Amino acid sequence: MVGIGCIIFLLVFCILAYHRASLIIWTISYALLLILATCFDPHSIFLLISWIVFLIIFIPLNFKPLRRRWISAPLLNLFRNVMPTMSRTEREAISAGTVSWEGDLFRGNPDWNKLLSHAPARLTEEEQSFLDNEVETLCGMLHDWDITHNRLDLPETVWQYIKDKGFFGLIIPKEYGGKEFSAYAHSQILIKIGGVSITAGSSIAVPNSLGPAELLLHYGTSEQKKYYLPRLAKGEDVPCFALTSPVAGSDAGSMTDHGIICYEEFEGQNTLGVRLTFDKRYITLAPIATVIGLAFKLYDPDHLLGSKEDIGITCALIPRNTKGIKIGRRHFPLNTAFQNGPIRGKNIFIPIDWIIGGPEKAGKGWKMLMECLAAGRAISLPASAVAGGKVLSYMTGAYARIRKQFNMPIGKFEGVEEPLARIAVYTYIMDAVRTFATAAIDCGEKPSVASAIVKYHTTELGRKLACDGMDIHGGKGICLGPKNYLGRGYEAAPIAITVEGANILTRNMIIFGQGVIRCHPYVLSEMEAAKLADAREALITFDNVIMKHIAFAMSNAVRSLILGLTSSFIVQVPRGKMKRYYQQATRFSSAFAFIADVCMLVFGGSLKRKETISARLGDIVSYLYLLSSVLKFYRDQGSNVDDLPLVRYASLFCLFEIQESFHDIIENFPNRPLAWILKFLIFPLGERFSKPRDAISHKVAQLLISPTATRERLAAGAYLTDQPNNLLANMQDALIKCIASEPIEKNIRLAKKDGGVTGYTLTEQAQSALEKGIITADELAIYMQAEEARKKIIAVDDFTNEELSG
């Protein structure tokens, strides 16, 4: 009987924990269970002990004064001792932005119907018209080799077109003369342009990203908005924003650029203002900018603004012609031609009302920047990476069918199928996650953690697929010139890795470090409670939260074990072909929430310095977010059956990476007995996921080397218009011709093998086949057109020394 009783008690425990029952439900359930058991066996010693344990546990838990005194007060003191110290810039970064779907993933029980009900990304008629007309026209004006080799800049006609057609005002409201486009439209525009010219894409991205326009929109005074926004929208002013300095890159807190509040003569009057000294570098558009957004530390030693001396990071707008500014020289980032350079100034005086938002916003610059970056980081750089992925998948798939070795298209070699599949899948994942993020922004979110995930993973995947593309193209890829559509993107791939938060920093410190505070359902509330000055209020607030947190952690431990034992088959998720991926994602979400709490408990405030563990925790939530995006993208695109190999590969890839991140955390966990417990609870039946199999790689590769609907969907949004200088259109034309010619070539080769035709080259053999009636004149014409197209595609450029000198 005792054994049965233990089993029943354990079963009730698991059911209540799995369903996250409230404390009152726990109390009533066990009380009823004990009463029922007592009726059957009132003299049992086991029941007596059970009643004693029940009363010891549940009386203090339900009687709040006792609970607060005996449980919550010691925990509050412990929490205060282990709570990490944070700098002002860290606190402002963490508080920036909003939480959306990533919060569900941290809670361990994502609501998939909520995900699928999110409004899909859509373009308005005006936005679609702009893409079909102005953007198409601009793409037709761009000749990348001329831009990157001959000019090292955009032609003046292109600059003027960009300004005249409002490309610098995509995010500026219509009342100020801008386009007021959505984040998704902004992203689509950058994808189409960036796939043709990285220089043009970057030059348009910066004015519409983290910079003067966005800062003015959210924080500028009415006078600043009325003056600057119409000028920026029309291209009368070209903006840049200067944040990075030689000693302060990712660590903005170490910035030495500073301003002192003082009175000086300005335009003949004694004026309150700021005397600035700064040294900035890596500033895109700086060489041609007419208005400079500047971040600096502001000090008020004479207390002209108030009692505070160290006011903090502040942002100001400064005209280029301000006396003392040194600007115009250029950096040369990896052979790309976009304007980028340093800005310096020493003892430059600006009026106090040049601070963005006026004196009231002095010292609030870092928070302003982080709030803007929370959304902007999900747009510009991801769009650039997706642009590269779309072009690369479209071109490499076709090239692998057109290019032959050993009388067979190279895309049919298993060794080439593997990287081809990765190119297609990575592009699909990148497109899915940037679409999901921009749609969230258009719904009013400023997803700071999600934007870090999107920026990091799109740029990292972009770098990987650039390498795969180069491997497949070989010599065609390394010879630069007008015929090369791969080289400049390959060169530029590391640039996106370094900006708007270096990827190493983003992975190791931001995604989980910021995410666990903002997205965890209880940690931020606990931290706020611990900071309360009133001891009684702090204890009451902390008690309410910590009890929920303990139940949450216990529930996730149980859910991890149960879902691991059942392979998550019991989870209720949307029906369909993707059902198992939803279920497995739920399992890993619960396991992630559990292991995150364990890591916080074990490491406390030192977790922020355990960067490899923090990075792997970030990887788990990142791949859960990528997987969620893929599943939603597939649904939003109509659940096309043809795309199933792509979606299955992408889902298996994400699940495998999640498993590997769990594995690495557990294997490197310093407390080995606890590591064994973690492994049992998370992987009770072992690690069951593997990399996508060769068979699915083969299916994906075949979708890419043929003119399939899936291939067209992958490339959707790229510049595919049939124009003489558009290499993508030329490649598509060659692909269709070469596929049409394949059965003809096969007949010729069979005839050659049987001795039916003569000739040393395929062209001679084709002519012989015609003469002997093996092929028709129409078939010969098809074959010759295909060979001509093939030669053009595989051709590379050559130059004289004078031509190479540029």
| Tens-place pLDDT, residues 87-140 | 766 777 777 778 999 999 999 999 999 999 999 999 999 999 999 999 999 999
640: tokens are 């096309």
634: tokens are 């597939």
Query: How far is Cα 297 from Cα 340, in angstroms, rounded to an integer?
Result: 23
For residue 742, indicate whether it is catalytic.
Answer: no
The answer to whether 241 touches 283, Cβ cutoff 8 Å, is yes
Which candidate in 92, 500, 526, 779 is catalytic?
A: 500
Q: Mean of the pLDDT values across residues 560-573?
A: 95
Using a 10 angstrom Cβ sphere, with 0-12 exposed, 13-18 middle and 19 or more buried, the burial of residue 594 is buried
Confidence of residue 296 (pLDDT cuts 50, 70, 90): very high
User: What is the residue type of 744?
Assistant: I
Confidence of residue 485 (pLDDT cuts 50, 70, 90): very high
Residue 3: pLDDT above 80? no
pTM of the model: 0.94
CA 360 to chain centre: 33
The answer to whether 1 touches 9, Cβ cutoff 8 Å, is no
pLDDT for position 44: 79
Query: How far is Cα 311 from Cα 81, in angstroms, rounded to an integer?
Result: 29
Cβ neighbours of residue 635 closer than 8 Å, sequence gap 6 or more: 116, 578
Integer CA distances (angstroms), 296 to 135, 318, 328, 704, in order? 36, 12, 20, 49
Bridge-partner residues for 757, per DSSP? none
Q: Pseudo-torsion of CA 272, 277, 278, 284, nearest 10°?
A: 50
Quick: pLDDT tens for 618-630: 999 999 999 999 9
The answer to whether 470 touches 477, Cβ cutoff 8 Å, is yes
Token pair 């072909």 is at which residue? 577
Using a 10 angstrom Cβ sphere, with 0-12 exposed, 13-18 middle and 19 or more buried, the burial of residue 658 is buried
User: What is the residue type of 679?
Assistant: K
Query: How far is Cα 737 from Cα 787, in angstroms, rounded to an integer?
Result: 9
pLDDT for position 9: 81
649: tokens are 């590969």
- Coil vs helix vs strand at 216: helix
pLDDT for position 2: 61
Q: Mean of the pLDDT values across residues 68-77?
A: 92
Bridge-partner residues for 355, per DSSP? 316
Confidence of residue 254 (pLDDT cuts 50, 70, 90): confident
Integer CA distances (angstroms), 588 to 157, 165, 549, 570, 764, in order? 53, 48, 19, 14, 61
Cβ neighbours of residue 359 closer than 8 Å, sequence gap 6 or more: 305, 352, 353
The secondary structure of 688-753, three-state, reads: CCCCCCHHHHHHHHHHHCCCCHHHHHHHCCCCCCCCCCCHHHHHHHHHHHHHHHHHHHHHHHHHHH
